[in-house]
């Protein structure tokens, strides 16, 4: 990888842009940006552009030269007599003469990297050379605040044009990576690089190189995918980071080490131990990032920087920093994420935790989907396997990580221990809160297997009864046991209630009972503000999904908008944000809100995903599936191919089946059924259950991918059976999708049922389906064309195309040629957006280039004889062509040609 040629980053400043900026500036340019952002690259690009027409002097500034007067100018001053160094005016005069002689009439440019390290005397001289027009300047600097006073005044006085290099946005980073790697890269891999590097090009380049060399980034099925997710980095990156941090002062180093060890922390908490000037300095230099939300949070610029810093802090220093931080911070600032991070920090430096603190932190870690940390915390407790609360947290974490059999064993061993103790003088019944937590853990494991769902439901009923009964009464009486709590009985009840609501909603969803799930979630979210942000976002996304599936699409779309507007909360974990965002995008897709689903921005969280946890792929899969629903097979496959490559390596969410069947359908749409057959679902690496939306999508695309001209009836029958299943479960939002597809494929007898189901739903897609059913029942072509237009406006390309094509196929019975032409325009517009191949009959209906030429001349009023003379044809040949043209355009006379040619001209390639 080190020998690989990295191309210029697209979308950034070009050599021509730099020359233009230099020409327009009064005295030069200042290129700023974090270390590794590409300042040196742009400087070399600019000097290459001007070197033939200018005299260029490269000066070296460094921290080691700042103590020497005129240190940055030593390259030039070594040729001067030492007497000139007695005063800046003499140095200026001598250098003016020297540069003029050497330039021989060419413009002079001084190139200075690390301009912040220019000493004050050299800065005075360089500034005057620029102001009097002797030399132009090309300066680079990571932190403009550190520039000497004279150079800084050049900026404020307008002499220097500033070019600032920020981090690479994700799309540009992906394009750059793929151009260098020579192939597609999975979204998970690209996002891992981008998050780890913070978009810094140099870190991005080094990380990709090291991962390729280690085999952690490898080609699978023609796609670059991550084969490991433990964020490895090699010695080259470590040396680079350590060197760049070597110039930090003691206070700055302490601040950046604390944030690296504690994760994202409240600014107020950091200022309890670090000086404001040190924090400001680190922020200006791009090492720390301060979020401007409330409360204001501080994090390290990128995950790679944080990992290297953490790895290079000795255990003794780490322990001392943790102690000092915990002593200084106000307990009121100890939000759940910080509580869990400090507990994990304690384990890393060997500080023992009490059982209560370890369990509290493990509970928080599980809630925030940091299951590896939860396991470490639980297993740090001596004899943890004898504690119901510890076993509950351990088994829940294992089940969430896919280790279901291990989770079953942990629960079974605990039950066996309790059984043995019960025979003697062992403990009695579990306290109410421990009993509820244990029942929830049992249910989480049982939910992973469809065969044990009924048992899971029973455990949840038991937990609900306990929570609504004994525990709540005890809490109201002030007698709640707090063995697994965090100091507050009310907080224990709230946490258990939130976990139970989510478990009940997931259970109802896995059983396909989304109406029941919606009712449970609506009730829980009535008192919105009393719940934690993670719960609000997760429960809200589950409710949005339930509403979309049960026909309340408008409410689902409105709720999704509210959640997304309020989702940028630093208290929400990155894992919860990604999972909820994927669920929301699928909900919008299934609700028919396709523009909203397509325009959703991916989550960007300052807090990283838990170590070793891959980026959730559900969010990206939703967009790929949307493109397939639209019939835009080329766009669907473009997204699905790298996604499937990554899922074949690791599929914690159980998405591979849906992804491969969607790819099979997209291949079939492109006229490549043999390619569709090469995309079997295969076995999932993990035991995850994707839930009913993805199960429906898998079944739906399986049916459509297998459809062929000789067996459309079989596909329609299977779609009707799928609709029956969803109707029985009350999932009218899914039923209407299956029914509308079956009717478009030819089962017009199902139109009354489609109308009835559509009227059970709301939203634009339901309205579209109702209008379509009415048009079919009325045999009204005008209504059908209007439906096709509405579908096109809603970006439902395949729907619009199918309806318009049905109208065109009945063209011989149409008297209204305007309707036919409108249908043809809709079909062709959608065909263009879908890039759909044409069948032979359709190709035969398209007019040729010669026919278009003849038709155009005829439409402009030229006679057959005039056309024949102009094109060197016989009159009979022209008449024959016009006869063919009338048939293809479905018109009967010459006067219709001008109107008809609006279509034909727009569709010639």
pLDDT tens-digit readout, 708-737 = 555 578 899 999 999 999 999 999 999 999
For residues 298 and 264, the answer to whether their CB atoms sit within 8 Å is yes
Q: Is 632 exposed, middle or buried (0-12, 13-18, 19+ CB in 10 A)?
A: buried
Which 3 state secondary structure label does DSSP give 509?
helix
Nearest to 338 by CA among 258, 267, 273, 264: 264
Structure tokens at 843: 């190709």
The DSSP 8-state label assigned to residue 13 in this structure reads -
pLDDT tens-digit readout, 4-52 = 567 777 656 667 778 888 888 888 999 888 777 888 888 888 888 888 8
Say what the pLDDT of residue 716 is. Answer: 92
HEC assignment per residue over 135-153:
CEEEEEECCHHHCCHHHHH
Kindly state the average pLDDT of the residues 662-667: 93
Q: What is the rounded distance in angstroms from the CA atom of residue 381 to the CA atom of residue 367?
A: 19
Residue 789 has pLDDT above 50, yes or no: yes
Sheet arrangement for strand 108-113: 55-60, 108-113, 136-141, 28-33, 160-165
Beta bridge partners of 28: 137, 160
Say what the pLDDT of residue 230 is. Answer: 63
Residue 316 has pLDDT above 70, yes or no: yes
Q: How far is CA 34 from CA 40, 247, 360, in A?
A: 11, 15, 39
Residue 497 has pLDDT above 70, yes or no: yes
pLDDT tens-digit readout, 214-251 = 888 888 878 888 887 665 667 778 887 888 777 788 99
Q: How many helices (H) and strands (E) does the chain have?
A: 46, 11
Q: What is the rounded distance in angstroms from the CA atom of residue 507 to the CA atom of residue 513?
A: 9
- Name which residue leads in pLDDT, 766 or 264: 766
Residue 810 has pLDDT above 70, yes or no: yes
Residue 303: how many other CB atoms lie within 10 Å: 22
Residue 628 has pLDDT above 80, yes or no: yes
Show the CA angle centred on residue 98, arms to residues 93 and 104, nearest 5°: 130
Q: Which of 186-190, 385-389, 438-442, 901-905 has the lowest mean pLDDT?
A: 901-905
CA dihedral defined by 791, 797, 803, 806, rounded to 10 degrees? 160
pLDDT tens-digit readout, 867-879 = 998 888 888 888 8
Kindly state the average pLDDT of the residues 756-777: 95
- Name which residue leads in pLDDT, 907 or 142: 142
Which 3 state secondary structure label does DSSP give 334?
coil
For residues 835 and 637, the answer to whether their CB atoms sit within 8 Å is no
Q: Please tell me which of 359-368, 476-485, 527-536, 847-856 the model is most confident about, judged by mean pLDDT.
A: 359-368
Q: What percent of the chain has pLDDT over 70?
A: 86
Q: Provide CB contacts within 8 A for 636, sequence distance 6+.
A: 624, 625, 627, 628, 662, 663, 666
Q: What is the rounded distance in angstroms from the CA atom of residue 283 to the CA atom of residue 270?
A: 13
Band (902; pLDDT cuts 50, 70, 90): low
Alpha helices in 730-780 (DSSP H): 732-744, 751-760, 764-778
Nearest to 137 by CA among 14, 122, 146, 145: 122
Kindly state the average pLDDT of the residues 355-360: 93
Q: How far is CA 496 from CA 33, 362, 439, 472, 489, in A?
A: 47, 14, 11, 11, 11
Q: What is the rounded distance in angstroms from the CA atom of residue 382 to the CA atom of residue 372?
A: 18
Nearest to 42 by CA among 16, 81, 78: 16
pLDDT tens-digit readout, 63-96 = 767 767 787 888 788 766 666 677 888 888 888 8
| Helix, strand, coil tally for the chain in percent (to 5) | 65, 5, 30
The DSSP 8-state label assigned to residue 84 in this structure reads G
Residue 655 has pLDDT above 70, yes or no: yes
Q: How big is the chain by its Cα radius of gyration, in Å?
A: 34
Say what the pLDDT of residue 529 is. Answer: 66
Q: Is 738 exposed, middle or buried (0-12, 13-18, 19+ CB in 10 A)?
A: buried
Q: What b/e readout covers 514-544, taking b as 16+ CB neighbours within 10 angstroms?
A: bbbbbebbeebbeeeeebbbbbbbbbbbbbb
Sheet arrangement for strand 288-290: 265-266, 297-300, 288-290
Show the CA angle centred on residue 751, arms to residues 747 and 754, nearest 5°: 110
Which 3 state secondary structure label does DSSP give 106?
coil
Q: What is the rounded distance in angstroms from the CA atom of residue 329 to the CA atom of residue 338?
A: 11
Q: What is the rounded distance in angstroms from the CA atom of residue 636 to the CA atom of residue 644?
A: 12
For residues 757 and 739, the answer to whether their CB atoms sit within 8 Å is yes
- Residues across the chain: 909
Q: Is 443 exposed, middle or buried (0-12, 13-18, 19+ CB in 10 A)?
A: buried
Q: What is the rounded distance in angstroms from the CA atom of residue 852 to the CA atom of residue 908?
A: 9
pLDDT tens-digit readout, 385-416 = 889 999 999 999 998 888 889 999 999 988 88
- Helices 633-647, 618-630: axis angle to 10 degrees equals 150
Phi, psi of 794 (to 5 degrees): -85, 5
pLDDT tens-digit readout, 255-282 = 999 999 988 888 888 999 999 999 988 8
Kindly state the average pLDDT of the residues 554-570: 81
Band (296; pLDDT cuts 50, 70, 90): confident
Say what the pLDDT of residue 759 is. Answer: 95
β-bridge pairing 217-220 and 160-165:
unpaired
Residue 812 has pLDDT above 60, yes or no: no
Q: What is the rounded distance in angstroms from the CA atom of residue 402 to the CA atom of residue 613?
A: 12
Residue 486 has pLDDT above 50, yes or no: no
Say what the pLDDT of residue 418 is. Answer: 73
Q: What percent of the chain has pLDDT over 90?
A: 30
- Is the Cα dihedral 687, 692, 697, 700 positive or negative? positive
Residue 904 has pLDDT above 50, yes or no: no
Kindly state the average pLDDT of the residues 789-793: 94
**Beta-sheet strands, E only, within 264-315:** 265-266, 288-290, 297-300
658: left (phi over 0), alpha (psi -120 to 50) or beta: alpha
Sheet arrangement for strand 223-226: 184-185, 223-226, 217-220
Phi, psi of 163 (to 5 degrees): -115, 110
Say what the pLDDT of residue 476 is. Answer: 52
Residue 741 has pLDDT above 70, yes or no: yes
Q: Which of 344-348, 368-372, 415-419, 643-647 has the lowest mean pLDDT?
A: 415-419
For residues 350 and 556, the answer to whether their CB atoms sit within 8 Å is no
Kindly state the average pLDDT of the residues 821-840: 77
Q: What is the rounded distance in angstroms from the CA atom of residue 617 to the CA atom of residue 352?
A: 37
DSSP symbols for 688-743: ----HHHHHHHHHHHHHHH--TT-HHHHHHHHHHHHHHHHHHT-HHHHHHHHHHHH
Residue 466 has pLDDT above 80, yes or no: yes
Kindly state the average pLDDT of the residues 786-798: 94
Show the CA angle centred on residue 409, arms to residues 406 and 415, nearest 5°: 150
Phi, psi of 524 (to 5 degrees): -70, -30
Phi, psi of 481 (to 5 degrees): -70, 140
Nearest to 167 by CA among 197, 193, 139: 197
β-bridge pairing 297-300 and 265-266:
antiparallel
Q: Please tell me which of 23-27, 535-539, 741-745 the model is most confident about, judged by mean pLDDT.
A: 741-745
Nearest to 272 by CA among 337, 317, 333: 333
pLDDT tens-digit readout, 87-123 = 888 888 888 888 888 988 899 999 988 888 888 888 8
Q: Which of 217-226, 439-448, 571-580, 799-808 has the lowest mean pLDDT?
A: 571-580
Band (809; pLDDT cuts 50, 70, 90): confident
């Amino acid at each position: 990888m080190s020998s690989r040629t990295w191309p210029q980053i697209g979308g950034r400043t070009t050599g021509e842009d730099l020359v233009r900026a230099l020409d327009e500036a009064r005295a030069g340019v200042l290129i700023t940006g974090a270390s590794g952002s590409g300042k040196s690259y742009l400087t070399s690009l600019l000097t290459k552009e001007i070197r033939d027409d200018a005299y260029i002097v490269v000066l070296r500034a460094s921290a080691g030269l700042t103590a020497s007067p005129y240190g940055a100018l030593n390259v030039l001053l070594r040729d001067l007599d030492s007497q000139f160094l007695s005063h800046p005016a003499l140095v200026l005069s001598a250098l003016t003469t020297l540069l003029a002689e050497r330039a021989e009439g060419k413009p002079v440019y001084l190139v200075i990297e690390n301009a912040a390290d220019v000493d004050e005397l050299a800065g005075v001289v360089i500034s005057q050379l620029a102001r009097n027009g002797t030399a132009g300047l090309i300066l680079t600097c990571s932190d403009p605040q550190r520039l000497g006073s004279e150079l800084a005044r050049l900026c404020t006085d307008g002499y220097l044009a500033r070019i600032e290099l920020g981090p690479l946005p994700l799309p540009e980073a992906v394009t750059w990576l793929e151009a260098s790697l020579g192939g597609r890269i999975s979204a998970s891999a690209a996002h891992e690089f981008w998050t780890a590097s913070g978009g810094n090009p140099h870190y991005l380049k080094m990380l990709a190189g090291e991962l390729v060399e280690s085999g952690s980034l490898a080609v699978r099925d023609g796609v670059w995918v991550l084969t490991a997710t433990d964020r490895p980095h090699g010695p080259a990156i470590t040396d680079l980071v350590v060197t760049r941090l070597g110039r930090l002062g003691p206070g700055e180093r302490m601040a950046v080490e604390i944030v690296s060890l504690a994760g994202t922390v409240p600014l107020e908490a950091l200022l309890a131990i670090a000086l404001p000037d040190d924090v400001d300095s680190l922020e200006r230099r791009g090492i720390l990032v301060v979020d401007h939300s409330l409360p204001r949070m501080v994090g390290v610029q990128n995950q790679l920087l944080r990992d290297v810093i953490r790895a290079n802090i000795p255990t003794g220093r780490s322990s001392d920093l943790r102690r000092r931080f915990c002593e200084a911070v106000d307990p009121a600032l100890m939000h759940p994420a910080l509580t869990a991070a400090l507990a994990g920090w304690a384990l890393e430096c060997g500080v023992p935790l009490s059982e209560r603190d370890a369990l509290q932190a493990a509970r928080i870690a599980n809630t925030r989907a940091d299951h590896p940390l939860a396991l470490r915390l639980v297993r740090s407790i001596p004899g943890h396997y004898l504690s119901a609360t510890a076993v509950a947290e351990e088994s829940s974490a294992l089940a969430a990580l896919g280790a279901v059999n291990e989770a079953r064993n942990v629960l079974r061993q605990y039950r066996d221990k309790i059984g043995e103790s019960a025979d003697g003088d062992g403990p009695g019944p579990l306290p109410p809160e421990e009993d509820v937590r244990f029942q929830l853990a049992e249910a989480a494991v049982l939910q992973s297997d469809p065969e044990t769902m009924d048992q899971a439901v029973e455990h949840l009923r038991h937990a609900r009864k306990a929570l609504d009964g004994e525990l709540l009464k005890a809490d109201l009486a002030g007698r709640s046991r707090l063995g697994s709590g965090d100091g507050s009985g009310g907080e224990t009840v709230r946490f258990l209630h939130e976990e139970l609501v989510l478990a009940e909603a997931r259970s109802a969803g896995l059983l396909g009972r989304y109406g029941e799930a919606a009712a449970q979630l609506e009730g829980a979210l009535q008192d919105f503000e009393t719940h934690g942000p993670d719960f609000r976002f997760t429960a809200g996304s589950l409710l949005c999904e339930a509403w979309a599936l049960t026909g309340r699409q408008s409410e689902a779309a409105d709720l999704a908008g509210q959640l997304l507007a309020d989702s940028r909360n630093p208290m929400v974990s990155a894992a919860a944000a990604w999972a909820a965002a994927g669920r929301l995008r699928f909900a919008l897709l299934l609700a028919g809100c396709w523009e909203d689903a397509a325009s959703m921005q991916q989550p960007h969280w300052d807090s990283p995903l838990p170590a070793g946890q891959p980026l959730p792929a559900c969010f990206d899969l939703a967009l790929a599936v949307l493109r397939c629903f639209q019939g835009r097979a080329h766009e669907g496959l473009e997204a699905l191919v790298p996604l499937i490559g990554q899922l074949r390596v690791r599929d914690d969410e159980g998405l591979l089946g849906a992804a491969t069947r969607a790819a099979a359908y997209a291949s079939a749409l492109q006229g490549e059924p043999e390619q569709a057959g090469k995309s079997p679902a295969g076995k999932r690496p993990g035991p995850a259950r994707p839930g009913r939306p993805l199960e429906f999508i898998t079944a739906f695309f399986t049916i459509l991918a297998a459809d062929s001209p000789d067996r459309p009836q079989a596909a329609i029958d299977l779609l009707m059976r799928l609709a029956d299943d969803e109707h029985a479960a009350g999932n009218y939002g899914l039923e209407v999708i299956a029914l509308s597809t079956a009717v478009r494929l030819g089962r017009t007898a199902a139109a009354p049922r489609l109308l009835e189901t559509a009227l059970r739903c709301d939203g634009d897609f339901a309205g579209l389906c109702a209008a379509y059913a009415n048009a079919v029942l009325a045999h009204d072509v005008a209504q059908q064309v209007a439906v096709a237009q509405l579908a096109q406006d809603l970006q439902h390309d395949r729907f619009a195309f199918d309806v318009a094509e049905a109208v065109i196929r009945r063209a011989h019975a149409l008297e209204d040629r305007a309707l036919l032409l409108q249908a043809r325009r809709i079909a062709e517009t959608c065909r263009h957006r879908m890039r759909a191949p044409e069948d032979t009959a359709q190709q035969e209906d398209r007019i040729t280039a010669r026919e278009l030429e003849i038709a155009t001349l005829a439409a402009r009023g030229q006679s057959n004889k005039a056309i024949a003379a102009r094109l060197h044809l016989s009159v009979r040949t022209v008449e024959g062509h016009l006869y063919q043209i009338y048939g293809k355009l479905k018109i009967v006379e010459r006067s219709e040609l001008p109107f008809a040619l609006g279509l034909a001209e727009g569709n010639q390639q």
